Amino acid sequence: MRKSKKLRFVLWFVLVGILIGIASVYYVFNMPRRDLSKETALFHLQASQLISDFKSDENAATTKYLDKAIAVTGEVKNIRTLDNHSMVFSLEDAMEGVSCTVDSAETVRFGAKLAGLKMGTRASFKGRCTGMLMDVQVINCVPE
Amino acid sequence: MKKILMIILVGLFGTALKAQNIYFTKDAKINFNSSTPLEDIVAETNQGTTFIDLSKNEVKFSVLTTSFKFRRALMEEHFNENYMESSKNKEFAKAKFSGTITTPVDWKSDKTVNAEVRGDFTMHGVTKQITAQAKITPGKAGIAATAEFHIVPQDYNIAIPAAVSDKIAKEVTIKVEANYAPYQH
């Protein structure tokens, strides 16, 4: 009697363990994408500062900012909509500034706010920094 | 005084002439496919920066590896952390191509040309020669181009663990699509 009780306890224990295991594998496998609107920016900075950080020491800046949530502020110098309906706002400089890409879903979610951002106005975006090509790229942006 | 003016004029005219031959875009679409029957592995980005210098038939491409979007967030994490090691340094954070269009292209026509593009492809800190098959459509307002090439991850020191080697294709197909506009700076 006692033995079977013990066995039952062990079996339950194993079963719960397996279920937790399956659930966590399932969760990791279907890990949700980062939602930048829910993340706190690790750095708040001016577009000019971000550009000069990358231009003065790209390696150090890559280590510091890559894949981090950052909030960047600057004057809008170029706005374009790509054929996948995402929008790109160039801050500080149209060619060698900070490119903030807002994904198509976010352009709908923040439509009213984005419509207010015109060339020459100051704008803030929070996004994930992916590094520098000609300009410093910040993607998955949400307006701040 | 006249000499100085002349130098300034030549300088201005010279750069204007040079700029006319350069086309660029910062929104090139780049995708790669390393699917197998066991797993669909497709990734895409719209953040490719590319230039064509018509006078030299030169093409340059660069893209940040963390900008690629996969079907699953987990794949993105594995791609950047285990395979590309994107955060290691600025070289690992990018993939680059620098090459030449080896087939003659009449930039004044607007007919699509099948061209070959040959040059150096760098990723994960390794540079190798590749040849891409391209379709180039010149035009007055801009140039449209698509290209495709194949690489083997092992050539770029990217080790694929035996446990997942059946799920990742031995050869990866990379496709690019770009609509170039004249470069004015």
Q: Hey, is the C-beta of A59 within 8 angstroms of any chain B C-beta?
A: yes
Per DSSP (E only), the strands in chain B are 22-33, 42-53, 58-64, 69-70, 94-101, 113-123, 126-137, 143-151, 172-182
- Compute φ and ψ for A10, nearest 5 degrees: -60, -45
> CA-nearest residue of chain B to A140?
B67
A95-135 pLDDT, tens digit each:
999 999 999 999 999 999 999 999 999 999 999 999 999 99
| pLDDT score at B4 | 55
Average pLDDT over residues B150-166: 90
Q: Hey, is the C-beta of A94 within 8 angstroms of any chain B C-beta?
A: no
Residue A17 Cα, gap to closest chain B Cα (Å): 23
A22-62 pLDDT, tens digit each:
998 888 888 888 888 899 999 999 999 999 999 999 999 99
Write down the pTM of the prediction: 0.84
Would the ipTM clear 0.90, i.e. be above it? no
| pLDDT score at B17 | 47
Of B27, B74, B90, which has the smallest distance from its Cβ to A62's Cβ? B90
B46-84 pLDDT, tens digit each:
999 999 999 999 999 999 999 999 988 899 999 999 999
Q: Hey, is the C-beta of B66 within 8 angstroms of any chain A C-beta?
A: yes
Residue A100: beta bridge partners? A89, A138
B57 in the Ramachandran plot: left (φ > 0), alpha (ψ -120 to 50) or beta?
left
Parse chain B into domains and list their residue ranges.
22-182
Tokens for A105? Answer: 């879903």
B77-128 pLDDT, tens digit each:
999 999 999 988 888 999 999 999 999 999 999 899 999 999 999 999 999 9
> CA-nearest residue of chain B to A88?
B27
Regarding the domain with residue range B22-182, which homologous superfamily does it belong to in the CATH classification? Lipid/polyisoprenoid-binding, YceI-like (2.40.128.110)
- Compute φ and ψ for B173, nearest 5 degrees: -100, 125
| pLDDT score at B16 | 47
Average pLDDT value for chain A: 92
Of A32, A66, A84, which has the smallest distance from its Cβ to B66's Cβ? A66
Residue B65 Cα, gap to closest chain A Cα (Å): 8
Residue of B66, B91, B92 to mutate for A, most A C-beta atoms under 10 A: B66
Q: Hey, is the C-beta of A86 within 8 angstroms of any chain B C-beta?
A: yes
Q: How confident is the model at residue B7 (pLDDT cuts 50, 70, 90)?
A: low
What residues of A are in contact with residue B46 (Cβ under 8 Å)? 82, 84, 86, 101
Beta-carbon contacts below 8 Å between A and B: 69
